[in-house]
Amino acid sequence: MRVINLKKVKEKIFYEKLENGLDVYIVKKENFKTNSVRFFTNFGGLDLEFIPNKEKEMVKMPSGIAHFLEHKLFETNSRVKVDEFFQKNGSYINAFTNYKKTCYHFKCNKNFKEQLIYFLDFIQTPYFTDKNVKKEKGIIKQEALMTLDDPDRKFYQKMFENVFNNLNYDKTVVGSLEDIESITKEDLYKCYNTFYHPKNMCLLIVTNQDEKEIFDIIKDNQSKKDYSKKYKLIKKEYVENDEVSKPYEIIYENVKENRVCYSIKIDSSIFNMDREKLDFYLDFILFSNLSNYSKFNLDLKKKKIINKNITYSVSFNKTSHKEYIMISILSVSDNIDKYIKLLEKKLNNLTFSKEDFILIKKSIISDSLYMFNSVDGIMNYLYNDYMFNKKISSKSFDKAFELSYEETIKVLNKISNKNKSILIMKPKKDK
């Protein structure tokens, strides 16, 4: 067991890579009443082409299979249902699948060790039959139909689909009705045996229990399960174009207001910087220039050019040869053309003062320190750090303290909106 010291907050993270390859991180908080666990795999809606474990040929799976697999793992060959087991203990259990990950999580105040063992077992003991797979199809099709009618999900998916050409963003995480219908138990086992190997997974725990005891319980549990030591994950590598997939599109849905998303695609290598620091700097710049506290946002609202505050997001997307940053700026406007014109003018004249930097950096550091006062805060820190870096280390936490104004300006000067994609969603009545 290795100790990761976060000296700035006087916290310790206990880490061990088990013999089967599983990464386990534990934070002990004696005074907390709640225990929290997340167990996740690097398998999401984008992972459709790969070589199944112990096979030689690349296969292509139906869209939505990662989400389907998440559903099926909650069905065991036991009379006691997973939900019922956790409800009986007064605990909360759930899971989610996004484009890149599938995560299972639970919280409890009592009987933690017993529930942890059960939690690991039901995730690591798949039970798929022709009958239960067929039954699940109807349930997931209903979810897919709800997704088709959800303008928020459509808008979110279209954002990515119109920026990226070859990364499967044209597929939904839930899957199309045709793809859901085509999924077989054999498909599920191939995906499970490939992506649910401990070497492709991570276990995060925040607990009031003794960390050594918890590690011993996990090791004992994992030692009873047989996993191939020759495991190697081979996914198809996609070559992505530098240009956006679709520079401009208008879609019509059941919405009352015009939604606008202005996305920028940038090759991250132009910044020549640690990606975690880069993420901080981009957030600094966007917050200062576009957030609801910014003069730009307030002026647009005052002039009634936008109806709601501007929001933004930054995502990093790796391909076979490059990593692309996608910056998406979203708002609601009755005067779309004028809004886009003013937004582009602003993006071509981004500013950032030293006073802004000092204020935002203090806020980031304060938020980072405050996170360790709650179970959810600690778990979100652990999860986000692992998602970003594929590991958790003291260096990640310290980076917020190392940020400089000079580096922020270097990043600002390299932001360009030349490679853009504009997505507009209008009410159906305007079509």
pLDDT, tens digit, for every residue of 390-413? Answer: 999 888 888 888 999 999 999 999
Kindly tell me if the per-residue pLDDT of 80 is higher than 80: no
Q: Give residue 111's pLDDT.
A: 96
Confidence of residue 388 (pLDDT cuts 50, 70, 90): confident
- Where does the pLDDT of residue 311 fall: very low under 50, low under 70, confident under 90, or very high at 90 and above? very high
**pLDDT at residue number 251:** 96
List, edge to edge, every strand of the sheet that includes 35-41: 2-6, 11-17, 23-28, 201-207, 35-41, 102-108, 92-97
Q: How far apart are CA 187 and CA 198, in angstroms?
A: 19
pLDDT of residue 79: 75
Q: Over 90: is that where the pLDDT of 309 sits?
A: yes
Specify the DSSP element, H or E, that contains 362. helix 354-370
The stretch 182-189 carries a mean pLDDT of 97
- Burial of 288-326, coded b for 16+ CB within 10 Å and e otherwise, reads bbbbeebebbeebbeeebbbebbbbeebebebeeeebbb
pLDDT of res. 389: 87
Bridge partner list, 207: 28
Quote the pLDDT of residue 365: 87
Q: Average pLDDT of 89-109?
A: 97
Check: pTM over 0.75? Answer yes or no: yes
Cβ atoms within 10 Å of 430's Cβ, excluding its own: 9
- Mark residue 272 as left, alpha or beta (left: phi above 0; alpha: psi -120 to 50; beta: remaining): left
Rounded to the nearest 5 percent, the helix, strand and coil shares of the chain are 45, 20, 35
Label residue 229 by pLDDT band (50, 70, 90): confident
- 264-275 pLDDT, tens digit per residue, is 999 999 999 999
Catalytic annotation present for 11? no
Rounded to whole angstroms, the Cα distance separating 236 from 325 reads: 21
Q: pLDDT-based confidence at 369, cuts 50/70/90?
A: confident
Domains of the chain: 2-235 (3.30.830.10), 248-430 (3.30.830.10)
- Per-residue model confidence as pLDDT tens digits over 142-183: 999 988 889 999 999 999 999 999 999 999 999 999 999 999
Residue of 70, 161, 211, 407 marked active site: 70
Which two three-digit tokens encode residue 178? Answer: 């045709």
Decide: 218 and 18 in contact? Cβ < 8 Å.
yes
Mean pLDDT of the chain: 95
Q: What percent of the chain has pLDDT over 90?
A: 88
Residue 13 · residue 6 · CB < 8 Å? yes
pLDDT tens, residue by residue, 238-273: 999 999 999 999 999 999 999 999 999 999 999 999
**What is the predicted pLDDT for the residue at 87?**
95
Per-residue pLDDT band at 38 (split at 50, 70, 90):
very high
Looking at residue 312, what is its pLDDT?
A: 97
Exposure string of 58-93, with b = 16+ CB inside 10 Å and e = fewer, is: eeebbbbbbbbbbbbbbbbeeeeebeebbeebebeb
